[in-house]
Structure 1
Amino acid sequence: MAARSKARKRALDVLFEAEQRGLDPATLLADRVTDPAGGPRVPEYAVELVQGVLAHRADIDELLTTYSQGWTLERMPAVDRTILRLGAWEIVWNDEVPDAVAVSEAVLLATELSTDDSPSFVNGLLGRLVEVKPTLV
């Protein structure tokens, strides 16, 4: 698995765990970076991803709500919601990652970690963000 793919998975782990346990994601990230407690180390790109999602969380959630037809954030499976937040940040706020790569990586995570319907949902919603991106920036 490529380094950035591993970092995306690690960022997903941190954000998902924080949501499920009701913890502050920034605090959990700091804890994982300083003391991984026997878990995998947190790559630098995972830290950038988590911090990026946290810095733009309200805007990301607004975009996901606006462009997810018939789905509220609360109705989405938690893992899908987290994958979408990571993908949205990479598409809209990270110019270093090509949009197609961000979408593809998010779809791979959804395929590996979520329901059978999740990859097409993630692909469709992030694909829509790619389409409207010129109007967002």
Structure 2
Amino acid sequence: MTTEKTANQRGAARLAAVQALYQMDIGGTALADVLAEYEVYRLGKEVDGDTYLKADPAWFRAIVTGVVKDQKTLDPMIAGAISEGWTLSRLDSTLRAILRAGVLEIVSKPDVPTAVIVTEYVEIATAFFEGEEGKLVHAVLDRIARRERGQPKGN
């Protein structure tokens, strides 16, 4: 039961991190401001009639701060894994946030199984998009995981 609770809180933290990264990308919100807003007013709280899931605040903070700190390393990795003819700047802001967060976890959280990371971020993508974005997230994260973690395809 504790593992499930922790996993659910990490999943909620991943979703909140993607939302926070999107907010920073679109609105230019500063890192400290977005962290404070989510940790004080959103994570596990009701906002405008919507209840945010209880999230692991440390996991949320690690993803958001890690993406901001390592974006100059993450973006070229993502760009190298996207289909030829596409650039990172051509992708939707939400999709960029999903990929950045997913890649950060692949490179900085070796204790988390690749399949968990890929599945969680594909689920986030399919929650936001109705098209092929989930497949794109799966393909990009899988390529990067194989390169970074030395794993065979699909693991």
Q: What corresponds to 1:64 in structure 2?
A: 78
The one-letter code matched in structure 1 to 2:73 is D
Which residue number corresponds to residue 107 of structure 1?
A: 122
Stretch moving more, 53-62 or 39-48: 39-48
Larger radius of gyration: 2
Aligned residue number for residue 11 of structure 1: 17
Superposed CA deviations along residues 92-134 of structure 1, whole A, max 9, x for unmatched, are: 1112211111111110000101241100000001110011114
| 1:27 Cα deviation after fit | 3.0
CA distance in 2, matches of 1:56, 1:30: 20
1:92 corresponds to: 107
Q: Match of 1:13, as an amino acid?
A: Q
Which 5+ residue runs of structure 1 have no aligned equivalent? none
1:133 and 2:138 correspond: no
Q: Tell me which residue corresponds to 1:24.
A: 30
How far apart, CA to CA, are the structure 2 residues paired with 1:114 and 1:56?
26
Provide TM-score, normalisation by structure 2.
0.78
1:60-119: CA deviation from partner (whole Å, max 9, x where unpaired): 001011121221111011111100000000111112211111111110000101241100
Partners of 2:89 and 2:22 lie apart in 1 by 14
1:50 corresponds to which residue? 64
Distance 2:17 2:149 in 1: 26
State the alpha-carbon separation in 1 of the partners of residues 32 and 99 from structure 2: 18
In structure 2, runs of 5+ residues without a counterpart are 1-6, 151-155
Where does residue 153 of structure 2 map in the other structure? Answer: none
